[in-house]
């Protein structure tokens, strides 16, 4: 009993420490190593519309250069200071009132003195990955690399399902991925990490025999929830629970239950509730941890800003325009 009570907090602490160490390690990359590609990325965003229509007036092909410009700006500023810890917690990016974020970032990368603003309410694990890739490529190439990786991961899910004789489910997964415009979503850093994490979670659940045990599945969804909060920029985050759970339930869980030839309706409900609660605990716990660290590191004003933003979204009154920062 004591072991059961301790295992999930231990998993949470270890996962959170790994996430923080990754941010610190990437922040330690010398600015000189990413300077040129960051400058090229700033020039690219400067020449694009913040909300770029990539295919006529089809809204599901609208590329969010606004959010991606902020992410690249945060990636650059993670190591732009003497205190790496404060840098990863504060998550600064260039922003000037009444000026487009792409203009502010472009001016800063070309030698101008441009003020910054903190984006401490998110972990910005996506920005850490972007910073790592900026060592050898600019944002245009990063988008292509992430897109190709994401497509391959999702093809991997289809292949795994077909290999396990779930060809119809595999086909449905592939069609659903295309219908939600998954390939295009992978070209935009704001959405891409959900469409990377989702197939990786599915393949992990399907390819590890230990996942037949409910306790292990609960622990897995705890970690998936944490990683979702860590990498996502508040987009389609629930996909990392609903899709992996559904595929896992059909392929692994029901298969194991059918072998025992017993009625397990109560166990099925218990699986849904426990994995759902684990995912939510991981997701909410990571946000709470980030806000706590922001409060300790930056002061109570950082928490006030985060709380105001959350309440604004709950009320559904977000005053974001195409030429003003403040997501």
Of the candidates 61, 308, 47, 66, which has an alpha carbon nearest to the alpha carbon of residue 187?
61
In this prediction, residue 210 carries a pLDDT of 85
In this prediction, residue 320 carries a pLDDT of 47
Residue 29, helix vs strand vs coil: coil
Largest CA distance in the chain: 70
In this prediction, residue 3 carries a pLDDT of 62
- Angle among Cα 193, 199, 203 to the nearest 5 degrees reads 140
**What's the pTM value of the predicted model, to 2 decimals?**
0.89
How does DSSP classify residue 54? S
For the four alpha carbons of 164, 167, 172 and 174, in that order, the dihedral sign comes to positive
Of the candidates 134, 138, 136, 30, which has an alpha carbon nearest to the alpha carbon of residue 84?
30
Our CA dihedral for 146, 210, 269, 277, rounded to 10 degrees, sits at: -60
In this prediction, residue 324 carries a pLDDT of 47
Cα–chain center distance at 254: 30
Residue 109 contacts residue 5 (beta carbons within 8 Å) = no
**How far apart are alpha carbons 37 and 103 in whole angstroms?**
17
Tokens of 240: 């990392």
Q: What is the pLDDT along the chain (327 residues), one digit of tens a residue?
A: 556 668 999 999 999 999 999 999 999 999 999 999 999 999 999 998 889 887 777 888 888 899 999 999 999 999 887 899 999 999 999 999 889 999 999 999 998 999 999 999 999 999 999 999 999 999 999 999 999 999 999 999 999 999 999 999 999 999 999 999 999 999 999 999 999 999 999 999 999 888 888 899 999 999 999 999 999 987 889 999 999 999 999 998 877 665 554 556 667 788 999 999 999 999 999 999 999 999 999 987 766 666 666 555 555 554 444 444 444
Of the candidates 1, 94, 15, 72, which has an alpha carbon nearest to the alpha carbon of residue 286?
15
Continuous H helices in 232-322: 239-248, 254-260, 265-298, 300-315
What is the tally of helices (H) and strands (E) in the chain? 15, 4
In this prediction, residue 2 carries a pLDDT of 56
Of the candidates 298, 295, 194, 203, which has an alpha carbon nearest to the alpha carbon of residue 239?
194
In this prediction, residue 263 carries a pLDDT of 55
Please enumerate in sequence order all residues whose Cβ is within 8 A of that of 55, keeping only pairs 6 or more positions apart, or say none. 61
């Amino acid at each position: 009993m004591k072991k059961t009570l301790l295992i999930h907090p231990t998993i949470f602490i270890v996962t959170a420490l790994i996430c923080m160490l990754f941010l610190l390690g990437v922040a330690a990359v010398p600015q000189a190593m990413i300077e040129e590609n960051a400058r090229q990325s700033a020039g690219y965003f400067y020449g694009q519309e913040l909300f770029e229509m990539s295919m006529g007036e089809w809204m599901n092909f609208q590329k969010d250069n606004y959010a991606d410009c902020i992410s690249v700006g945060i990636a650059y500023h993670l190591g732009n200071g003497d205190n790496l810890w404060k840098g990863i917690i504060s998550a600064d990016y260039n922003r000037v009132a009444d000026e487009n974020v792409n203009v502010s970032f472009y001016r800063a990368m070309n030698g101008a003195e441009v003020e910054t603003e903190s984006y401490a309410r998110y972990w910005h694990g996506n920005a850490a990955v972007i910073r790592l890739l900026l060592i050898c490529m600019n944002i245009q190439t990063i988008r292509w690399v992430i897109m190709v990786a994401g497509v391959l991961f999702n093809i991997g899910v289809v292949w795994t399902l077909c290999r396990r004789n779930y060809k119809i489910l595999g086909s449905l997964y592939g069609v659903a991925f295309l219908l939600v415009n998954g390939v295009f979503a992978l070209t935009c850093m704001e959405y891409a990490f959900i469409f990377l994490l989702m197939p990786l979670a599915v393949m992990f659940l399907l390819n590890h025999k230990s996942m037949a045990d409910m306790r292990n599945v609960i622990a897995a969804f705890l970690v998936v929830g944490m990683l979702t909060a860590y990498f996502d920029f508040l987009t389609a985050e629930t996909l990392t629970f609903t899709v992996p759970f559904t595929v896992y339930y059909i392929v692994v869980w029901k298969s194991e239950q059918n072998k025992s030839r017993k009625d397990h309706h109560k166990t099925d409900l218990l699986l849904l509730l426990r994995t759902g609660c684990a995912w939510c605990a991981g997701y909410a716990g990571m946000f709470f941890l980030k806000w706590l660290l922001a409060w300790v590191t930056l002061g109570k004003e950082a928490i006030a800003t985060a709380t105001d933003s959350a309440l604004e979204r709950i009320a559904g009154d977000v005053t974001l325009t195409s030429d003003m920062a403040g997501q």
